[in-house]
Amino acid sequence: MKKLFAVLLLVLLISSKIKAQAPTYTVTDPNFLAFLNTNFPQCMTGNVITTTCAIMAITWPATINVSGLGISNLWGIQAFCSTDFVCLNCSNNLLTSLPPLTTYYGFTLICNNNSLTALPNISGNNVYHIINCENNLITNISPNILAYDVKLYCGNNNITCFPAFSQLSQTLSLLPNPALCLANYVPAAMDPTLLAMPICTAGNIYNCPGTNVIAGNNYKDVNINCVKDNADINLRGVPVQLYDNTGFVAQYYSSASPAYVFNVQPGTYTVVVDTTFAPIVPQCPAPGVDSANIVISLGTPYINNVNFNLNCLPGFDFGCNSFRLEGPIFPGLLHGMWIFAGNKGYLGDLNCGGGGGQVVVQVSGPASIMGPAPYPGVLVPLISGNTATYSVADFNSVNYNSFLLANYTATSAVIGNLISVSVVVTPTAGDNRLSNNTYTFCYPVGNSYDPNEKQVYPVDVLPGFQDWFTYTIDFQNLGNAPAYNIRVLDTLDTNLDLGTFQVIENSHPFNVALNGNVANFFFPGIMLPDNISDPQGSKGFIQYRVKPKPGLPNGTKIKNRGHIYFDYNPAVVTNQTINNFIFDLGKEELKKESSLNLYPNPAKSKLTILFTDAHQRALIITDLMGKEVFNKIVDDKKTEIVTDQIQTGIYFLKIVADSKISVHKIIIEK
């Protein structure tokens, strides 16, 4: 017994020492105080533990374990927690109450098998909690105790009402309890028994509060009865959007679950399944692609089974719409480049089309393709110069790891030089969406690399640009143990059109809820290894794209930053990305290209550009809405651009050299 209390004392002291909020520790329980004064008189000044003992205890963890001691109270114990998986374990005792507890980023409370009538008040930064309070006499769960992400085990109590749970809640083990209804549903965290319980409505037997909910699923109707039943196929990876009479409200997307849930206020809503970027169509007349008007009111607070029956379009959808970089883009070093190409009609349990084809990757600028990167599952291309050609027998057999190239940045490269990449995916005959068969992008030579960072492409755009900004958030577990759960919080700039938000790629199954302009990406049970035991396996990423609001003027800046949470730890804050809407960088920069000769303009089949010197430049042609139709790095005085595949119209030619930009209007005629 003495040894256990000695450990407890030392643990409390180190917690007090580490956290500036508690430089001393006051004992209020008379029995515990008498025990300390008898066994540790050198540590006590009246009822206060001195800081000398805190210094002596500096190596002890901040975990309190008093399980199975037969004690009847813990008054005097104040637990301060930071990164510990078990902060307070007081299970299997005679406790009837617990003192207030303070948490920093996360808390694990194990207090099952006692006689508690309530859980303690938990103050601090309530990001993540694990609470096991089974087999007690608890009558209610206060909403104040629930963190943003929570695992809650509370069966075998006297709980009649439950509060509303966060949509990121992982595990909810709530039964048996007297409760007959739920405040809301969290499908990813509830078993079928809980999902079968009704939502609490006014006048329920225990007068439990409820929430307003719209919920449903995406599925393929196997038995063609326009009703979701057990014979049907669940569809993951289909975004669902919520609108009210003012416009976009929220979006829910999951690569792990077919279900969606929106917690709403009373009002009239429309739920829309977004089939814009997938080769799928609704099969039933109702709800079709949208739900029309859904009215949430006091009498109808919950509407479930707004289910969307989807099926494949004829043909297939092969393409490429994103990329990812890894490693320093620094002169004389190798870096990795992922090309996300393949069957874009694969939606979890539904596979739209199949077959083979080619993926051709061309690199220009101060970089050379050295070959496939040495990772498992990477395909080996045929390399000719700076062109890599992949022949794929079956696009269903490839994934985001398949097209990974090792690029070498030339020693002559200068920080700020651009490397350009173009991707072409074939075949096109039978492809029902040709807009994603070609993809181009540029990235600069840099001087730093952070494994937890945020990237955006493109960076500098013309005023009025209304094409995609593609964001990538990379994360890596740099700790010394696996990360059980990871959450990424991303607040989107107010100049972005939230209704266009679209997830492109991800390394692990996750859910994302976009409420207002705040995107919450949650990877439950990711178990991401640490970088020492598994350097490659310790990495993950999210990639999404979104368009800016229309008509943004010259000088507009769009700024974004991500916050990455590994389990209980404080957020890892990424760098800030900045997009500049800029027509030119001033007269001095434009003057540098004023002597170029550009002809013919209008151009029918070919556009020739003559410069006064041979110098590396990026040539980018965009339409009036900012959509890129051409992107190439050149080094010569003379460049010819074939315009046969560019539609008739007015375009902008943007020339980038040494971070200077000039813009010229060109006309394409047929």
Q: Could you tell me if 160 and 106 lie in one domain?
A: yes
The number of folded domains in the chain is 4
In this predicted structure, what is the pLDDT of residue 81? 62
Any domain includes 111: yes
Q: Could you tell me if 655 and 603 lie in one domain?
A: yes
Give CA–CA dist 123/475, Å, rounded: 29
Host domain of residue 357: 323-581
In 3D, which of 107, 131, 102, 103 has the Cα closest to residue 119?
131
Any domain includes 236: yes
Q: Could you tell me if 293 and 386 lie in one domain?
A: no
Give CA–CA dist 421/367, Å, rounded: 10
Q: Could you tell me if 408 and 507 lie in one domain?
A: yes
- Give one word for 598, left, alpha or beta, with left for phi > 0 and alpha for psi -120 to 50: beta
In this predicted structure, what is the pLDDT of residue 147? 63
Give CA–CA dist 128/246, Å, rounded: 33
Give CA–CA dist 401/253, Å, rounded: 22
In this predicted structure, what is the pLDDT of residue 399? 78
Domain boundary among 581, 615, 646: 581
Give CA–CA dist 310/332, Å, rounded: 50
CATH number at residue 595: 2.60.40.3080
Any domain includes 32: no
Is the bond preceding 178 in cis, omega lying within 30 degrees of 0? no
Any domain includes 45: no
667 touches 603 (CB < 8 A): yes
Any domain includes 74: yes
Q: Could you tell me if 535 and 621 lie in one domain?
A: no
Any domain includes 136: yes
CATH number at residue 353: 2.60.40.740
Any bridge partners for residue 401, and if so which? none
Any domain includes 655: yes
Q: Could you tell me if 383 and 514 lie in one domain?
A: yes
In this predicted structure, what is the pLDDT of residue 139? 94
Q: Could you tell me if 303 and 225 lie in one domain?
A: yes
Domain boundary among 312, 339, 363: 312
Domain boundary among 528, 547, 581: 581
Q: Could you tell me if 191 and 292 lie in one domain?
A: no
Q: Could you tell me if 392 and 290 lie in one domain?
A: no
- pLDDT tens readout for residues 137-159: 999 988 777 766 778 999 999 99
Taking 50 as the pLDDT cut, the residues of the chain under it are: 1-23, 52, 54-61, 585-593
Q: Could you tell me if 396 and 415 lie in one domain?
A: yes
Any domain includes 30: no
127 touches 149 (CB < 8 A): yes
In this predicted structure, what is the pLDDT of residue 8? 43
